[in-house]
C-alpha cells in the first residue's frame, strides 16, 4: 500500500518521468495505430519497428552519443526507407505485400543486430544501454526523453486533427479521394511519416519486438466499443495511455518486473476484455443472445406439445402428464421440466397435482406458434415450390423468429390460407 502511495504521489521525479513517458508513447502509438488498423496495414508497423534498429545504431555510430534527438532522426530515416522499399517491391515486382513486409523486416533487423553487436564490441563506453532498444527501456526514461516525446506527440496530434477527415477518406476509399483531386500522395506521405515517428518514439518504451502491439492492439480493442471513428480514436488513446500507466505501476511495485512487456500485457488484457465484454459486438453479449434464443425455442416447443396433444384428443385444456407430453416429441425429460417451469413463470401453464394444464393465454401463444409454423410451410410450398414432405424441418426453426409484422405480410401474401400443405388446420386467433 505504501509503495502505491509513493507511486501515485510521484515523490520520486524519476517515477513521474517514466509514467508520463509511457503514457505519452502509448497514446501517440494508439492514435496513428487506428489508421494503420483501418487501412489493414497492421504488419507494416511491425516492419517499421524492426527497420528502426539499424537507424538507431547508425545514428549512434555517426554522432557518438545516445542523445534521443539524434537517435530518433536515425530511426526515422531507416524507418521511412523500409516503407519506401516495401512499397517499391510490391509495385515493381510480382512479390505481394505480405512477403515484401517479411523480407524488409528481417533484412533490416538483421543489419540492425549486426551493427549493434559491432558497436558493443567496439569498446566505446557510451554504448552501454543501446541494446535496450530491443526490449525497451521504459524504466529509465529521463527528462530529456520526455521533452522529445511530448513534442513529437504534440506534432502528431496536430497533424491528425488537421487532416482528420482526409485521413478518414483515404483509409476508407483512397480511389475516390484521388478522383476528387485530394493530394492523396501527400496525405499518405504524412500518415506514413507520423506512423514512423510514433514507432520511433514508441520503441523506447517497449522495444522493437513488442512495438506492433502498441500500435495495433489499442485500435483493435477500441473498435468493439463504437462505430464512430473519432470515438474509436479516443478510446484507443485512452487504452494506450492507461496501459502505459498500469505497466509502469506494476513494474514499480514489483521491481523485478520489466515495464515494456507489462505495458503490452495490460494492453492485451484491455483488448481481450473488449472482445468479451463490449455491448452487442462482444462475445458475452453474443452468448447471451444465443442463450435467449435457446430459451425461446424451448418454451415455444413445449407449448406446441400441448397444442398437438389437444388436436389429437379434441381437448386443448386437458391435463397432461409429462410422459404424455414426451410422446409427441423427441425431448429429454430434463429439458421438458425446465421448459414447463419457465412456462409456469409466464402463467402459460399451471400445475395440477402431478399433471400440467395449458392456460388460456398459453393456448393463445401456442396457436400463434402453430400458425406461424404452418404459414411458413405453406409459403415454402407455394413460393419456393418445395414438396409438402420437405417443409417441416425448415418451419421448425423459422416459426420462432417471425415477427408480428412479417406474420401479417405472410398472411396477406398467402391470402389467409386455412390449411397447411399437410391439410392441418391453421389456427387463427379470433
User: Which position among 147, 176, 277, 287 is part of the footprint of other proteins (CB under 8 A)?
Assistant: 176
> Which C-beta is closer to other proteins: that of 29 or that of 232?
232
Mark the segment that binds other proteins (CB under 8 A) among 16-24, 116-124, 173-181, 345-353: 173-181
Shortest Cβ 166–other proteins spacing (Å):
7
Query: Of 348, 425, 422, 361, whose CA–CA distance to 390 is shortest?
Result: 422
The answer to whether residue 373 forms part of the interface with other proteins (CB under 8 A) is no
Rounded Cα distance between 232 and 70, Å, is 33
> Which C-beta is closer to other proteins: that of 174 or that of 310?
174
Residues 6+ apart with CB under 8 A from 152: 28, 72, 197, 198, 201
Whether the CA torsion 48, 51, 56, 62 is positive or negative: it is: negative
The three grid cell numbers given for residue 159, joined into one nine-digit string: 497533424
Query: Of 103, 410, 56, 66, whose CA–CA distance to 208 is shortest?
Result: 56
Mark the segment that binds other proteins (CB under 8 A) among 63-71, 167-175, 261-269, 299-307: 167-175
DSSP reduced 3-state for 357: strand
Cβ contact 55:74 at 8 Å: yes
If you search the block for the grid coordinates 443472445, which residue do you land on? 289
User: Which position among 73, 146, 182, 331 is part of the footprint of other proteins (CB under 8 A)?
Assistant: 182
The three grid cell numbers given for residue 405, joined into one nine-digit string: 409484422
User: Which position among 160, 200, 232, 391 is part of the footprint of other proteins (CB under 8 A)?
Assistant: 232
Mark the segment that binds other proteins (CB under 8 A) among 107-115, 196-204, 224-232, 326-334: 224-232
User: Which position among 8, 114, 154, 179 is part of the footprint of other proteins (CB under 8 A)?
Assistant: 179
User: Which position among 177, 194, 205, 398 is part of the footprint of other proteins (CB under 8 A)?
Assistant: 177
The three grid cell numbers given for residue 304, joined into one nine-digit string: 406446441
Rounded Cα distance between 21 and 31, Å, is 16
The answer to whether residue 223 forms part of the interface with other proteins (CB under 8 A) is yes
> Which C-beta is closer to other proteins: that of 169 or that of 324?
169
User: Which position among 128, 162, 284, 397 is part of the footprint of other proteins (CB under 8 A)?
Assistant: 162
> Which C-beta is closer to other proteins: that of 6 or that of 226?
226
* CA neighbours closer than 13 Å in the CB half-sphere of residue 162: 10
Give the binding site for other proteins (CB under 8 A).
38, 40, 162-163, 165-166, 168-169, 171-173, 175-183, 223, 226-229, 232
Amino acid at each position: 500500500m505504501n509503495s502505491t502511495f509513493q507511486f501515485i504521489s510521484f515523490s520520486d521525479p524519476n517515477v513521474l518521468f517514466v509514467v508520463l513517458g509511457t503514457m505519452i508513447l502509448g497514446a501517440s502509438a494508439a492514435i496513428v495505430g487506428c489508421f494503420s488498423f483501418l487501412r489493414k496495414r497492421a504488419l507494416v508497423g511491425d516492419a517499421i519497428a524492426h527497420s528502426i534498429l539499424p537507424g538507431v545504431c547508425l545514428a549512434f555510430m555517426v554522432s557518438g552519443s545516445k542523445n534521443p534527438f539524434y537517435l530518433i532522426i536515425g530511426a526515422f530515416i531507416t524507418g521511412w526507407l523500409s516503407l519506401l522499399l516495401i512499397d517499391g517491391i510490391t509495385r515493381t515486382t510480382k512479390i505481394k505485400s505480405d512477403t515484401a513486409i517479411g523480407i524488409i523486416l528481417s533484412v533490416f533487423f538483421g543489419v540492425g543486430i549486426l551493427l549493434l553487436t559491432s558497436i558493443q564490441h567496439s569498446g566505446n563506453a557510451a554504448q552501454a544501454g543501446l541494446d535496450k532498444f530491443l526490449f525497451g527501456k521504459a524504466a529509465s526514461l529521463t527528462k530529456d526523453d520526455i521533452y522529445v516525446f511530448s513534442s513529437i506527440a504534440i506534432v502528431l496530434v496536430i497533424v491528425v486533427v488537421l487532416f482528420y477527415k482526409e485521413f478518414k477518406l483515404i483509409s476508407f476509399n483512397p480511389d475516390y479521394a484521388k478522383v476528387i483531386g485530394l493530394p492523396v500522395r501527400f496525405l499518405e506521405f504524412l500518415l506514413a511519416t507520423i506512423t514512423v515517428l510514433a514507432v520511433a518514439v514508441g520503441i523506447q518504451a517497449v522495444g522493437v519486438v513488442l512495438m506492433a502491439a502498441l500500435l495495433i492492439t489499442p485500435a483493435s480493442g477500441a473498435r468493439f466499443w463504437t462505430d464512430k471513428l473519432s470515438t474509436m480514436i479516443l478510446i484507443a488513446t485512452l487504452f494506450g495511455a492507461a496501459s502505459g500507466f498500469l505497466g509502469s505501476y506494476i513494474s514499480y511495485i514489483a521491481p523485478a518486473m520489466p515495464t515494456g512487456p507489462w505495458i503490452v500485457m495490460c494492453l492485451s488484457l484491455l483488448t481481450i476484455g473488449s472482445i468479451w465484454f463490449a455491448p452487442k459486438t462482444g462475445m458475452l453479449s453474443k452468448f447471451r443472445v444465443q442463450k435467449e434464443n435457446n430459451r425461446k425455442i424451448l418454451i415455444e416447443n413445449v407449448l406446441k406439445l400441448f397444442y398437438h396433444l389437444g388436436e389429437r384428443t379434441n381437448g386443448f385444456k386437458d391435463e397432461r402428464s409429462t410422459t404424455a407430453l414426451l410422446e409427441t416429441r423427441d425431448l429429454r425429460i430434463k429439458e421438458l421440466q425446465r421448459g414447463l417451469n419457465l412456462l409456469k413463470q409466464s402463467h402459460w401453464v399451471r400445475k395440477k397435482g402431478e399433471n400440467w394444464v395449458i392456460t388460456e393465454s398459453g393456448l393463445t401463444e401456442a396457436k400463434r406458434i402453430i400458425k406461424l409454423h404452418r404459414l411458413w410451410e405453406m409459403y415454402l410450398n407455394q413460393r419456393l415450390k418445395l414438396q409438402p414432405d420437405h417443409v417441416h424441418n425448415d418451419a421448425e426453426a423459422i416459426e420462432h423468429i417471425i415477427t408480428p409484422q412479417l406474420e401479417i405480410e405472410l398472411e396477406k401474401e398467402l391470402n389467409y390460407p386455412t390449411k397447411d400443405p399437410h391439410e392441418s388446420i391453421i389456427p387463427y386467433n379470433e
